[in-house]
Amino acid sequence: MAGDEDKIGAEAIAWTIRTGEPDFAEWEVFAAWLEADPRHAARYYALQGDADELAALIPPPEPVRAAPRRLARRGWLAGAVAATLAGVVGVSVLQTRPDPFVVETAPGGRRTVTLADGSRIALNGGTRLTLDRGDQRYAVIDRGEALFTVRHDPARPFKVKVGADELIDVGTVFDVIRSDGKTWVGVAEGALIFNPRNEAVPLPAGRALSTSDGVADVQVGDIATTSVGSWQRGQLDFAGAPLADVAAALSRATGVRFTVVPALAARTFRGTIALADLRQDPARLEPLLGVAMRRTPGGWEIAPSP
């Protein structure tokens, strides 16, 4: 009956909001509501699930724009005047010299850099990038994970250096992880080329590549485009990743040290982990991963279920 559904819906909203607050203590009243009608629990869960999906669609807040030093008109004129005054002839003030700077996050931190052309680089925790004010279509990933949204410009491809490799892109959304000598790249939109001067592996939307230093091959596979950079939406999507990589991703994203018992390191996981829940209580990983979570001095260890 429509009227009933409205009432149940409104009650489910009220209970969802109240149980979502950390100081909520009227659990037995909530239990009584759940018991009163089987539709109540169904509605509560439907709302929780739908809320997760909605939250995942909402983009993070707009970052404060990084202010690179550009050759503004005034600067150019001042430069020309200064050059004339100093008697330096033949130096083009329009020439941009390399002007590197580092952008870094602590584990669990987040930062977004906006480049002069509007391209954006979102840094996950434990990440270090070297950028160049003199060339705003260039980045080096020293370590960690970054999600790139590159503005389309075929005349000036964007270049990313990661380890000894290079990615060339003309306008794309892609995520790069660099950790322990391993590199992973996933493309959500557009297309990238990996090592154009060597292997020249094309990576269109929906493809991912992984490679390790010192290993000749490169592995390429398919991924869901929505999972690329999902960390930025507070979710980590895994499609058959070994638990060792899951632990590294969790550590990077939360700043808490997650380790895995060697016996489980190679076991694979396929699913999604919500970072808000994980921060609240890492033991919530247990049913999802089929493991036991053990406290360690520095953080948590993923261990076999008893």
Partner 1 sequence: MTLAGLEAVFLANRAALLRFLVAHGAGDAAEDLLHELWLKVSRASAGPIAAPLPYLFRAANNLMVDRHRAQRQAMQRDHDWTDIAGGTLPGGSDEPSSERRLIAREALGIAEAALARLTPRAAAIFRRHRVDGVPQKAIAAELGVSISTVESDLREAYRALNEARRRIDEA
Q: Which residues bind partner 1 (CB under 8 A)?
A: 5, 9, 12-13, 16-17, 19-25, 27-28, 31-32, 34-35, 38, 41, 45-58, 60-61, 233-235, 270-272, 274-277, 279-281, 283-284, 286-288, 290, 292-295, 305-306
User: Given the complex with partner 1, which of 6 and 180 has the nearer CB atom?
Assistant: 6
- CB of residue 157 to partner 1, shortest distance in Å: 33
User: Looking at beta carbons only, is 19 or 84 nearer to partner 1?
Assistant: 19
Question: In residues, how long is the chain?
Answer: 306
Q: At closest approach, how far in Å is the CB of 208 from partner 1?
A: 17
Token pair 């850099």: residue: 113
Cβ at position 198, least distance to partner 1 in Å? 35
Tokens standing for residue 223: 């991924």
In the structure encoding, which two tokens stand for residue 185, read together?
């790249």
Which lies closer to partner 1 via its Cβ, residue 13 or residue 80? 13
Q: Would you say 19 or 219 has its CB closer to partner 1?
A: 19
For the bound state, the minimum distance from the C-beta of residue 67 to partner 1, rounded and expressed in Å, comes to 24
- Smallest distance from the beta carbon of 210 to partner 1, in angstroms? 21
| Closer Cβ to partner 1, 13 or 265, answer by number | 13
In the bound state with partner 1, the residue whose beta carbon lies nearer, of 151 and 279, is: 279
Q: How far is the CB of 66 from partner 1 (least distance, A)?
A: 21
Instruction: Give the nearer residue to partner 1 in terms of CB position, either 139 or 293.
Output: 293
User: 175 forms bridges with which residues in the sheet?
Assistant: 147, 186
CB of 224 to partner 1, least distance (A): 10
Q: DSSP letters of the chain?
A: -HHHHHHHHHHHHHHHHHHTSTT---HHHHHHHHHH-HHHHHHHHHHHHHHHHHHHHSPPPPPPPP------HHHHHHHHHHHHHHT--S--TTPPPP-EEEEE--TT--EEEE-TTS-EEEE-TT-EEEEETT-TTEEEEEEEEEEEEPPP-TTS-EEEEETTEEEEESS-EEEEEEETTEEEEEEEESEEEESTTTT-EEEETTEEEEEETT-S-EEEEE--GGGTTGGGGTEEEEEEEEHHHHHHHHHHHHSSEEEE-GGGTT-EEEEEEEHHHHHH-GGGHHHHHTEEEEE-SSEEEEEE--
Tokens encoding 190: 């557009």
Beta bridge partners of 32: none
Nearer to partner 1, 120 or 133 (CB): 120
Q: How far is the CB of 251 from partner 1 (least distance, A)?
A: 18
